[in-house]
Amino acid sequence: MPNVIDRSRAEALIREQVVSTIFQDAPKQSVVMQLGRKLPNMTSKQTRIPVLSMLPLAYWVNGDTGYKQTSRQAWENVYLTAGELAVIVPIPEAVLADAEFDILGEVTPRVNEAIGLRVDQAILFGINRPAEWQNDIITVARQAGNNVSGGISYDSLLGENGLFAKVEDAGYTVDGVVAAMGAKASLRGIKDTNGHPLYKSDMQGTTPYALDGAPIYFPENGSFDTSVARMVAGNFKQLVYAIRQDVDVKILDQAVIQDPSTKDIIFNLAQQDMIALRVTFRMGWAMPNPATRMNENRVNVPFAYIDAATAYTDQTVTFTVKDNAESSPNAIAGAAVNVNGSIRLTGTDGTAVFHLRAGEYPYSVKADGYRPQTGTVTVAAAAVPVGAPPLAACCRHPACIQVRGLPCMLILPTIRAPTAAP
């Protein structure tokens, strides 16, 4: 049946005798937008943020006449790209005329709630993430090894290698925790190292849920995906967002509504005496993750999570980076491979390993003394053969572009069969 508020769905509002208020829950807003840092509104589709990517070093001088060494500092751009959320709610004019309440006034806050739900799902878990957005929090934390197994316990939360420790290893203090509503029961059952309950219930008051001074938020908009994680913690001030277009509501009465898949006309508003509520919202977000003294190469991130009861399945994607030697290319160690916001450094064998869910990911590779390379890697939902063909073969590739005479790199992504996240 088409999505429309017809007479049967609005029956409760059309009856002859009704009370003066509608009994309904209050709309729930986005948790991420509450915790993150809001930047000034975007003036275009894309906003550029310069981010510190390399820190200067200081050196001791040997003796009175020793030479003072040089150092350098570098920046790179992180982009916020606006993604769009939209929905159209058709309503027959006769239903509006017969209703005892302002249907449009009742629908609008619920649409706002739906927007908050989608924002949280996309940023936290990557659910229906716009292609223009960077990797979600779970994905970037996974690449950094910031996932904790074993469920919700004192050790997994506050232990030496627990949830908070993962964030602190990146040089940040946890300022917020997000968990599913069902996590409250697990929290009430855990005890500290002395066997005392971590949370003492007060039968005459509410139980304050916090960990080591960081408040815990339990999204009531249905956004938390327990199949991916039990709990997410981090320094949410390192998550920034900006609004390109605030929630915009328009009333349509002359348009036609088409099925997105079949392109068939579902409603002709003018011909069928209907109106439609169209709501649009545009925003972008990013995790700049600047270089710090505890995270100079930006490999770590200020977020961590506790695995779901059954760890989600991903695929191992290995990037092999070599120079362009004609006869026998040599591995390049220390190259920074950035897969849509997740950074790993290549080892001595020239490889960097990522654990990615199905999807298409843009990547860039940078190394001192070499020209940067970019490309896209596609991760399928099923296993694919090992040894995908090179996506970038610099200097011997027709698309190669000379840049300041620097040598270039050969990039070979390979994808192995799916594995469960450890």
> What local confidence, expressed as pLDDT, does residue 311 receive?
82
Mean pLDDT of 380-409: 46
- pLDDT confidence of residue 54: 67
Q: Which of 335, 333, 235, 248 is nearest to 290 (CA)?
A: 235
pLDDT of residue 389: 37
Q: What pLDDT shows up at residue 208?
A: 78
Buried b (16+ CB within 10 A) or exposed e, 346-362: beeebbbebbbbebebe
How far is residue 319's CA from residue 354's CA, in Å, rounded to a whole number?
8
pLDDT recorded at residue 415: 65
Give 229-252 pLDDT, tens digit per residue.
999 999 999 999 999 988 888 888
Selected residue with higher pLDDT from 204 and 110: 110
- Position 416 pLDDT exceeds 80: no
What is the chain's mean pLDDT, rounded?
81
Task: Give which of 325, 316, 136 is closest to 232, Cα–Cα.
Answer: 136
As given in the structure block, the two tokens for residue 1 are 């049946």
More confident residue, 400 or 356: 356
Decide if pLDDT at 399 tops 60.
no
Residues 6+ apart with CB under 8 A from 66: none
b (16+ CB within 10 A) / e for 129-143: beeebbbbbbbbbbb
Closest CA to 155 of 108, 93, 200, 198: 198
**What is the model's pLDDT at position 387?**
38
The total number of residues shown for the chain amounts to 422
Confidence at residue 297, expressed as pLDDT on a 0 to 100 scale:
86
Can you give the pLDDT at residue 370?
83
- What CA–CA distance (Å, rounded) separates 224 from 367? 38
Q: Where are the alpha helices (DSSP H) in 126-269?
A: 137-143, 154-158, 163-169, 183-189
Q: Flag the least confident range among 97-106, 249-258, 410-419.
A: 410-419
Q: In what order do the strands lie in the sheet with 176-179?
A: 147-148, 303-307, 229-234, 176-179, 214-217, 210-211
Q: What's the token pair of residue 348?
A: 């001595």
User: What integer pLDDT is reported at residue 307 of this predicted model?
Assistant: 94
Percentage of residues in the chain with pLDDT exceeding 90?
32
Percentages helix, strand, coil for the chain (3-state, rounded to 5) are 15, 35, 50
The beta-carbon contacts of 383-387 under 8 Å, at least 24 apart in sequence, are 383/315, 383/416, 383/417, 383/418, 384/315, 384/415, 386/414, 386/415, 386/416, 387/414
Q: Which residue would you say has higher pLDDT here, 196 or 120?
A: 120
More confident residue, 58 or 343: 343
C-alpha distances (whole Å) from 306 to each of 121, 124, 136, 378 are: 17, 13, 15, 27
**Distance from C-alpha of 150 to C-alpha of 352, rounded to nearest angstrom:** 27
CA separation for the pair 413, 318 (Å, rounded): 6
Give me the DSSP letters along 220-247.
SSS---TTTEEEEEE-GGG-EEEEEEEE
Q: What is the pLDDT of residue 404?
A: 36
| Domains, in order of start, for the chain | 312-420 (2.60.40.1120)
Burial label, 311 (beta-carbon count in 10 A; 0-12, 13-18, 19+): middle
What integer pLDDT is reported at residue 31 of this predicted model? 92
- CA–CA dist 166, 288 (Å, integer): 18
Average pLDDT over residues 254-274: 89
State residue 245's pLDDT score.
86
Tokens of 132: 């223009």
- Bridge partners (DSSP) of residue 267 are 257
Tell me which DSSP letter residue 375 carries: E
Neighbours of 74 (CB within 10 A): 11
Span 266-325, pLDDT tens digits: 999 999 999 888 888 899 999 998 888 888 888 999 999 999 988 888 888 888 888 877
pLDDT digits (tens, 9 = 90+) for 125-177: 999 999 899 999 999 999 999 999 988 998 999 999 999 999 999 999 999 99
Dihedral of CA 235/238/239/240: which sign? positive
What is the rounded distance in angstroms from the CA atom of residue 120 to the CA atom of residue 29? 9
Does residue 51 or residue 167 have the better pLDDT? Answer: 167
**pLDDT, average across residues 201-224:** 84
- pLDDT at 238 (0 to 100): 93
Using the predicted structure, report yes or no on whether residue 327 has a pLDDT greater than 80: no
* Residue 316, pLDDT score: 87
Report how far residue 409's alpha carbon sits from residue 352's, in angstroms, rounded to the nearest whole number: 14
Which are the contacts of 162, defined by CB distance < 8 A and separation ≥ 6? Answer: 148, 155, 156
Residue 20 confidence (pLDDT): 37
Listed residue (122, 144, 119) closest to 131, CA to CA: 122
pLDDT score at 405: 42
173-182, 251-260, 280-289, 392-401: range with lowest mean pLDDT: 392-401
Q: Which amino acid makes up residue 239?
A: L
